[in-house]
């Protein structure tokens, strides 16, 4: 999950920039964690404590206002609505990475990622995006064969992951849907040579950069055996004590330290 947070922070300054290159400084003035990180940590706490997820999402949104929440989610949380709003936005996928790290079987991952999504993103595409992301993370922790992981995602979720980033970049733009974000983020991982390269790939397609890099970063952390310390340290320093405490507890509980 730390890889997802690192991707979010690095991507935060590129969200509306339409960046179409991998050549950019990783940390610049204005880089910060966004709703992607806040809600990722909320999912981690949900897994750790079993606290009602809807209540956790409310409390995290209230504790970290102005973090860039999507309009529908913000309206949902502000009104304290307990019913989902049938969203297929990429928020379901951006927050799900802790599920992929916490559970050992695909069956568990599918069940928990569905639960994590459907409290807000109850549309089938929202659930599919969350499940595909978590399902990529789970085997990436121990399988060192990207073709095998790619085949699993394509066969189970129907995404076409054969397209190359060079084919995606020219026409791709800002897209907040799961179906328009998750495949691109996963391709960014599949084409990568390292954790950092996965994050750069995701930002370079020129879309919803923080979320693309958040999703790709979570999978890359699992596959490459962690998040490089030179990236993790400055990002952890940006988080407040509350977020750091949950991240540390989660990583210690699931052997990610």
d(CA 186, CA 153): 9
Structure confidence at residue 62 (pLDDT) = 97
CA 146 to chain centre: 19
Structure confidence at residue 41 (pLDDT) = 98
Burial class (CB within 10 angstroms; exposed 0-12, middle 13-18, buried 19+) of 126: buried
d(CA 105, CA 252): 20
Ordered by start, the domain boundaries in the chain are 2-17+29-253
d(CA 98, CA 45): 9
Q: Between the CA atoms of 223, 224, 226 and 229, what dihedral angle is there, to the nearest 10 degrees?
A: -150
Structure confidence at residue 257 (pLDDT) = 60
The enclosing H or E element of 101 equals helix 97-102
Structure confidence at residue 256 (pLDDT) = 77
Structure confidence at residue 144 (pLDDT) = 87
Residue 151 CB coordination number (10 Å): 12
Structure confidence at residue 27 (pLDDT) = 95
Enumerate helices (H) and strands (E) in the chain, giving the number of each.
15, 0
Beta carbons of 198 and 136 less than 8 angstroms apart: no
Task: List the alpha helices (DSSP H) in 17-69.
Answer: 35-49, 53-63
- C-alpha separations of 15 from 54, 77, 131, 173, 220 in Å: 27, 23, 24, 11, 20
Residues 6+ apart with CB under 8 A from 51: 45
Structure confidence at residue 65 (pLDDT) = 97
- C-alpha separations of 242 from 20, 53, 60, 199 in Å: 35, 17, 10, 25
Instruction: Report helix, strand and coil shares of the chain as percent, to nearest 5.
Output: 65, 0, 35
- C-alpha separations of 181 from 3, 58, 129 in Å: 17, 25, 9
Terminal Cα-to-Cα distance of the chain (whole angstroms): 11
Residues 6+ apart with CB under 8 A from 42: 53, 56, 57, 60, 95
Q: CATH homologous superfamily of domain 2-17+29-253?
A: ADP-ribosylation/Crystallin J1 (1.10.4080.10)
d(CA 174, CA 171): 10
CA 134 to chain centre: 9
pLDDT along the chain (257 residues), means of 10: 97 96 96 98 98 98 96 96 96 98 97 98 98 97 94 97 97 97 98 98 98 98 97 97 98 86
């Amino acid at each position: 999950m730390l890889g997802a947070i690192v991707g979010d922070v690095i991507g935060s300054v590129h969200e509306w920039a339409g960046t179409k290159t991998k050549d950019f400084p990783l940390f610049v003035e204005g880089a910060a964690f966004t709703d992607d990180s806040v809600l990722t940590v909320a999912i981690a706490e949900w897994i750790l404590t079993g606290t009602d997820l809807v209540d956790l999402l409310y409390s995290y949104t209230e504790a970290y206002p102005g973090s860039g929440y999507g309009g529908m989610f913000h309206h949902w949380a502000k009104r304290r609505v307990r019913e989902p709003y049938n969203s297929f936005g990429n928020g379901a996928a951006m927050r799900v990475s802790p599920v992929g790290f916490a559970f050992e079987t695909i069956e568990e991952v599918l069940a928990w990622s569905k639960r994590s999504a459907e409290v807000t993103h109850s549309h089938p595409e929202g659930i599919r995006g969350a499940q595909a992301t978590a399902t990529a993370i789970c085997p990436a922790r121990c399988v060192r064969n990207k073709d095998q992981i790619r085949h699993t995602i394509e066969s189970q979720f129907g995404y076409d992951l054969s397209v190359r980033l060079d084919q995606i970049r020219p026409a791709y733009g800002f897209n907040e849907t799961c179906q328009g974000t998750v495949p691109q983020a996963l391709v960014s991982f599949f084409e990568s040579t390292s954790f950092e390269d996965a994050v750069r790939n995701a930002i370079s397609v020129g879309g919803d950069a923080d979320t693309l890099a958040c999703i790709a970063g979570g999978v890359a952390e699992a596959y490459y055996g962690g998040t490089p310390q030179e990236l993790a340290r400055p990002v952890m320093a940006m988080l407040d004590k509350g977020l750091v405490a949950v991240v540390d507890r989660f990583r210690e509980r699931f052997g990610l330290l």
